[in-house]
A and B are shown apart, each in its own frame.
Chain A
Amino acid sequence: MQTSDARASWESCGLVLSAVVLTFATFATDLLAYPTFSRLLVAVAIWMMALLIARQRRTEHQLRQKAHEARQYLERADVDAEERKRAEEALHRSLKDLEDIKYALDRSTIVATTDRMGTITYANDQFCEISKYSREELIGQNHRIINSGYHPHEFFQNMWRTIASGQKWHAEIRNRAKDGTLYWVDTTIVPFLDEQGRPYQYIAIRHDITERKRVETELREQAALKRLGEMGAVVAHELKNPLAGLRGALEIIGRRMSSDSPERRIIQEMVTRIDSLNQMVHDLLVFARPSLPNIGQVLMSTVVAETTALLASDPAMRDVVVDVSGVDPVVPADAAMMKGVLLNLMINAAQAMGHQGRIALTLSTTNDHCEIRVADHGPGIPEGLRDKIFDPFFTTKHRGTGLGLSVARRTVEMHGGTMRFECPSEGGTVMTVCLPLARQV
């Protein structure tokens, strides 16, 4: 561009110079009286001037065009810079948004990623918190580490089938934390797909719904209990009346037999069976229609003594000894209900030991609680049954409603207390009832 401009300048200079020389030559020839030659020179000079003007116009036009192009170029450059700036800002905003979303996700939900084989590759703080495993313990592991064994095998088979086909999967899962506590999570697993549409990674987003599940279960149980309670009143009357008649009649018949008559033993056995039946009906009724505790100041030693005496009166418990030790607190409680709770725990303990051995009952207090520990030397509760023992209607016994522990725990909870159990490594089971020393109900 610069070269052609310079050439154009030199050409213009040459033309101007030639025109000037020709003009002088014209004057000179005119003075020398060569008019024809003079006219020729004038014509040449005019032609050259015209050429010069044309050349000048063309140059001006080219310059205007270049200036226009330059302006356009500069404008375009401005636009490009602005666009780039806008793009950079958008990118920055997107990255910030992404970071914020990740932060919000990490703060509010349980997030984990796995590779296509299901090995955990990322676990956020929430996951560590709920599972009680450290990040190091989780990464490199399979999700089986938190499997509670609650869901059937087909449940997870279906999950894998769905996500391996590139589909999103959603369900509510009960998991087990490192310390054995169970928690529920609402889970969505989304596969990340490669160019061929095959999953190369999965992201699991979970929400803790343990509390919601607890409330749902409670509501379901309440509805079931209401129905059971309504039915119970009718069933109880219809069952207990004939049972009372049968029991009374058998008692009378038994009295008429001589004490060494073998039939008298049979009659006694029949009365025992009727009492068991009655107890089952009673348990069902108490479970279905719990009454509120009638709280008084209860000396625990009295409750314990009355309960152990009751246990001792049962011929089946003649080889069971209860060792009572510890302090003797006064607890705000319903004495009759507490007797029921302790009797239940002691009968369970005796049954666990095959009705033979020693039960250790220890009373202790903390600042605000009284603890009653009932320990047996039985085989302990099998690991697979530990999360079921407080479930209503769950029983390992040949006979029984499976309501005893469930009712006992609810009774303790109605007193503002808690009931828990431990299975020490050396064997046996320790049931602990914890009651507040100040009235809470």
Chain B
Amino acid sequence: MDTAVGAIFSMGENIFAPARVLVVDDEALIRWSLTERLSSVGYDVEEAGDGASALCYFREGAPRVDLVVLDLKLPDADGVDLLKQITRLCPTCRVVLMTAFSTSDTIADARASGAYDVIAKPFNLDKMLQVVECALA
């Protein structure tokens, strides 16, 4: 898996800077494990435990986020609403949603709102890594 290192350089201001990924989930163990796995292959990973903290990464002047791994259900926000806000604030940012439970309508709504993919929890970290790599490719 560590061969992914070559694929992680974003097309940001500094083309040699690693892609920046924001993990948004209220479950600390999920944030920790994703951060560990994604960092291990060279991504620059940030964490947020709720919607409000996540939006701070999209304020004016904040370093650009290339991809957000976002939980569909956060204590202070609805994932799809947050997804819409993020894509409005940063149209180039890709969003991969995670969900513990959702109906097909919610998933269709998420895809229609611009989600790159919707991954069911619990997931294999390698599978998540694959999706992230594809989204940033």
A complexed with B:
yes
For A42, what are the chain B residues with a Cβ–Cβ distance below 8 Å? none
Q: Does B118 contact A (CB under 8 A)?
A: no
Selected from B33, B101, B104, the residue in CB contact (under 8 A) with A248 is B33
Q: Does A63 contact B (CB under 8 A)?
A: no
Selected from B34, B36, B100, B123, the residue in CB contact (under 8 A) with A237 is B100
Is A240's CB under 8 angstroms from B33's CB?
A: no
The B75-98 residues at the A interface (CB cut-off 8 A) are 98
Is B121's CB under 8 angstroms from A252's CB?
A: no
For A243, what are the chain B residues with a Cβ–Cβ distance below 8 Å? 121-122
**Shortest Cβ gap from A336 to chain B (Å):** 12
The stretch of B6-14, B22-30, B47-55 in contact with A is: B22-30
Separation of A278 and B29 alpha carbons in the complex (Å):
17
Is A242's CB under 8 angstroms from B27's CB?
A: yes
Q: Does A95 contact B (CB under 8 A)?
A: no
Selected from A232, A244, A285, A291, the residue in CB contact (under 8 A) with B123 is A244
The B114-137 residues at the A interface (CB cut-off 8 A) are 121-125
- Interface hub of A241, A278, A285, A291 (most chain B Cβ within 10 A): A241
Known: A237-B73, A240-B122, A274-B122. A245 touches B101 (CB 8 A): no
Selected from B101, B123, B125, the residue in CB contact (under 8 A) with A252 is B125
Q: Does A247 contact B (CB under 8 A)?
A: yes
Is A241's CB under 8 angstroms from B121's CB?
A: yes
Q: Does A115 contact B (CB under 8 A)?
A: no
Which residue on B lies nearest to A243, using beta carbons? B122
Separation of A241 and B104 alpha carbons in the complex (Å):
19
Digit string of A274-297 for contact with B (CB within 8 Å is 1, else 0)?
Answer: 110010000001000101000000
Q: Does A106 contact B (CB under 8 A)?
A: no
The A278-320 residues at the B interface (CB cut-off 8 A) are 278, 285, 289, 291
**Shortest Cβ gap from B25 to chain A (Å):** 8
For B73, what are the chain A residues with a Cβ–Cβ distance below 8 Å? 237
Selected from B30, B33, B34, B103, the residue in CB contact (under 8 A) with A241 is B30
Q: Does A125 contact B (CB under 8 A)?
A: no
Q: Does B111 contact A (CB under 8 A)?
A: no
- Interface hub of B29, B32, B36 (most chain A Cβ within 10 A): B29
Separation of A249 and B31 alpha carbons in the complex (Å):
9
Separation of A236 and B125 alpha carbons in the complex (Å):
20
Is A245's CB under 8 angstroms from B125's CB?
A: no
Q: Does A79 contact B (CB under 8 A)?
A: no
Which residue on B lies nearest to A233, using beta carbons? B101
Is B121's CB under 8 angstroms from A244's CB?
A: yes
Is A236's CB under 8 angstroms from B100's CB?
A: yes
Known: A240-B121, A246-B29. A251 touches B37 (CB 8 A): yes
Chain B: interface residue total (CB-CB under 8 A): 22
Is B100's CB under 8 angstroms from A248's CB?
A: no
Is B101's CB under 8 angstroms from A249's CB?
A: no
Is A252's CB under 8 angstroms from B36's CB?
A: yes
For A237, what are the chain B residues with a Cβ–Cβ distance below 8 Å? 73, 100-101
For B27, what are the chain A residues with a Cβ–Cβ distance below 8 Å? 241-242, 244-245
The A222-256 residues at the B interface (CB cut-off 8 A) are 232-233, 236-237, 239-249, 251-252, 255
- Interface hub of B104, B121, B123 (most chain A Cβ within 10 A): B121
Digit string of B52-84 for contact with A (CB within 8 Å is 1, else 0)?
Answer: 000000000000000000000100000000000
Separation of A245 and B71 alpha carbons in the complex (Å):
12
For A247, what are the chain B residues with a Cβ–Cβ distance below 8 Å? 33, 122-124
Is B33's CB under 8 angstroms from A249's CB?
A: yes
For A255, what are the chain B residues with a Cβ–Cβ distance below 8 Å? 40
Is B33's CB under 8 angstroms from A251's CB?
A: yes
Separation of A274 and B29 alpha carbons in the complex (Å):
14
Separation of A339 and B121 alpha carbons in the complex (Å):
20
For B125, what are the chain A residues with a Cβ–Cβ distance below 8 Å? 248, 251-252
For B121, what are the chain A residues with a Cβ–Cβ distance below 8 Å? 240-241, 243-244
Separation of A232 and B104 alpha carbons in the complex (Å):
15
Separation of A232 and B101 alpha carbons in the complex (Å):
9
Separation of A255 and B1 alpha carbons in the complex (Å):
12
Known: A249-B29, A249-B32. A244 touches B122 (CB 8 A): yes
Those 9 A-B pairs whose CB atoms lie nearest each other, nearest first: A248-B33, A245-B29, A244-B122, A240-B100, A244-B121, A236-B101, A247-B122, A237-B100, A245-B27
Interface residues of A (CB under 8 A from B): 232-233, 236-237, 239-249, 251-252, 255, 274-275, 278, 285, 289, 291
Interface residues of B (CB under 8 A from A): 26-30, 32-34, 36-37, 40, 73, 98, 100-101, 103-104, 121-125
Q: What are 28 A-to-B residue pairs whose CB atoms are below 8 Å? A: A236-B101, A237-B100, A240-B101, A240-B121, A240-B122, A241-B30, A242-B29, A243-B121, A244-B29, A244-B100, A244-B121, A244-B122, A245-B29, A245-B32, A245-B33, A246-B29, A246-B122, A247-B33, A247-B124, A248-B33, A248-B123, A248-B125, A251-B125, A252-B33, A252-B36, A255-B40, A274-B122, A275-B122
5 more A-B residue pairs beyond the given contacts A243-B122, A244-B121, A246-B29, with a C-beta to C-beta distance below 8 A: A232-B101, A233-B101, A245-B27, A245-B33, A252-B32
